[in-house]
Amino acid sequence: MRVRTRRRQATEGIRLREVWREAWRNVSTGATRALLGIAVFVVSIGAIGWFEASSVAGVAREAQSFREAGATVQVIALSGRIDGAQCDALSSYPGIAASGAVRSADDVRLAVSPSTSLPTFDATPGMAGVLRVKPTSGQGASGGVWLAGDLADVLAVDGSRTSVPLSNGASMTASGVFAYPTDGRLPTLAYTLVSPVPAQGVFDACWVEVWPEAVSTVDLLSLPVLPPAPGQDASQPQAQQLNSTLGTQFDAQGRLAKVPVWPMTGAAVLLAVGLGVVLIRLRRLELASALHAGLGSTALALQVAFETLVWLFIAVALLLPAEWWIAAHANPDPALVAFYPAARATMLAAAATLIAAVSQAALTREKHLFRYFKNR
């Protein structure tokens, strides 16, 4: 019994190799119309993948612009009653990307304009994340002051020049620069100098970047606020959006829901099914002849599967890098956000093509050989 089992396994192995060889011969000689399949798959499914990647990347770019404009930052203002440590700690909450406290400090006078005082602020270390401070050297944005971008341009501060001369002959070291254009955001830190200080004591405002938009402003108002001291103003904190020119909310989920990703993926699958069916129907005479010559239906299905997999592998290998390039150059953050739906559509289309081709081959009948011959 064992001998018979081994002989049967050996025979099946030989048949599998023969099926593979025949499939490879068909592909290499062009009998499978592999080049046609590759061309149609790459063009049709690639167009759908491009649309999906570009559309999702467009939403991601809009979200990035929304954040860079400061529209996701809420400024909770209450002079002398903001706990710096609690404000900095807000960044550990889910949905809060960064947080930091700010208070007014003594103005300084620069050597380039000794007659004009320059507004100066103290800020907790967490403000580096809120302002997206870029270090002026490889040592990080610490050990010096941060300059608003317009001020840094006037002082010509860059990676090679970080000294800020003062009118009294002293100087400061600029360790970072933050962009603060006049694009509709509150003018609080425009053309200013910010000095990072430990997150201790009281401050005048807490800046909180809420992203993704899942935290209510009402929830934020009570977190970093200290109770009023005797004789101190007992006003309630006020929250204001740093920049409201782009709207109060972005609603990324709502915008993504408007992108017809799944309908386009469904269209890709339907196109793939049609491609798989047509390529096999064009070869019905050949396949029926193989059945007439003694090839089993199972072996025929395997042969068609091998043939289809060969050209599908080439098509997918061409498409996926192209879709990644489209996603990466569309500048979403991260690129995987735009690449995933396009890659998913491509892989589902490839699977649909394979299933359709094998199914159509299974429907081919030897008894219809004469009819296939007449309709060739």
Last-in-domain residue among 226, 245, 264: 245
Residue with tokens 């053309």: 191
Structural contact between residues 347 and 48, judged by C-beta atoms closer than 8 angstroms: no
% of the chain exceeding 90 in pLDDT: 31
| 364 close to 318: Cβ distance less than 8 angstroms | no
pLDDT per residue over 39-82, tens digit each?
Answer: 999 999 999 999 998 888 888 888 888 888 999 999 988 888 88
2 in a domain, yes or no? no
Q: What is residue 128's predicted lDDT score, i.e. its pLDDT?
A: 93
Backbone angles phi, psi at 93, to 5 degrees: -80, 145
Tell whether 139 and 54 lie within a shared domain. Answer: no
Confidence of residue 12 (pLDDT cuts 50, 70, 90): very low
The answer to whether residue 260 sits within a structural domain is: yes
Please check whether residues 86 and 185 belong to one and the same domain.
yes
Q: What total of structural domains would you count in the chain?
A: 2
Closest to 112 (Cα-Cα) out of 153, 72, 79:
153
Q: Are residues 232 and 302 in the same domain?
A: no
Inside any domain, residue 34: yes
Average pLDDT, the chain: 81
Kind of pairing between the strands at 238-241 and 73-83: antiparallel
Indicate if 124 and 210 belong to the same structural domain: yes
The residue assigned the tokens 């599908």 is 312
The DSSP H or E segment spanning 369 is helix 369-374
pLDDT at residue number 356: 92
241 domain residue, yes or no: yes
Instruction: Look at residue 40 in the predicted model and tell me its pLDDT.
Output: 94
Choosing from 245, 276, 302, the residue where a domain stops is 245
302-321: b (≥16 Cβ within 10 Å) or e: bbbbbbbbbbbebbbeebbe
- CA–CA separation, 57 vs 332, rounded Å? 5
Do residues 201 and 98 both lie within one domain?
Answer: yes
Residue 47 contacts residue 39 (beta carbons within 8 Å):
no
pLDDT at 14: 41
Amino acid in position 284: R
* pLDDT for residue 288: 63
Do 205 and 263 lie in one domain? The reply is: no
- The C-alpha atoms of residue 373 and residue 290 are separated, in whole angstroms, by 13
A 10 A CB-CB count for 245 gives 11
CA-CA-CA-CA torsion sign (367, 370, 372, 375): negative
Specify whether 77 is located in the same domain as 176: yes
Task: Say whether pLDDT at 305 is over 90.
Answer: no
pLDDT in tens, 167-223: 887 888 888 899 999 889 999 999 999 999 999 889 999 999 988 776 565 566 656
Kind and range of the H or E run holding 122: strand 113-123
Do residue 90 and residue 238 come from a single domain?
yes
Tokens 């996603």 correspond to 327
When pLDDT is averaged across residues 138-153 and rounded to a whole number, the result is 77
DSSP state letter for 142: -
User: Is residue 301 in some structural domain?
Assistant: yes
**262 and 153, same domain (yes or no):** no
Q: Examine the domain organization and report whether 44 and 75 are in the same domain.
A: no
Q: What is the pLDDT of residues 251-302, one digit of tens each?
A: 777 788 888 888 999 999 999 999 998 888 877 666 666 665 556 667 777 8
Structure tokens at 49: 């993948």
* Element holding 302 (H helix, E strand): helix 297-329
Structural domain span for residue 82: 71-245
Question: How much is the pLDDT for 275?
Answer: 93
Distance CA 259, CA 66 (A): 19
Residues 77 and 107 grouped into a single domain: yes
Same-domain pairing of 217 and 333: no
Question: Is the pLDDT confidence value at 119 over 70?
Answer: yes
| Angstrom distance (rounded) from CA 22 to CA 313 | 18
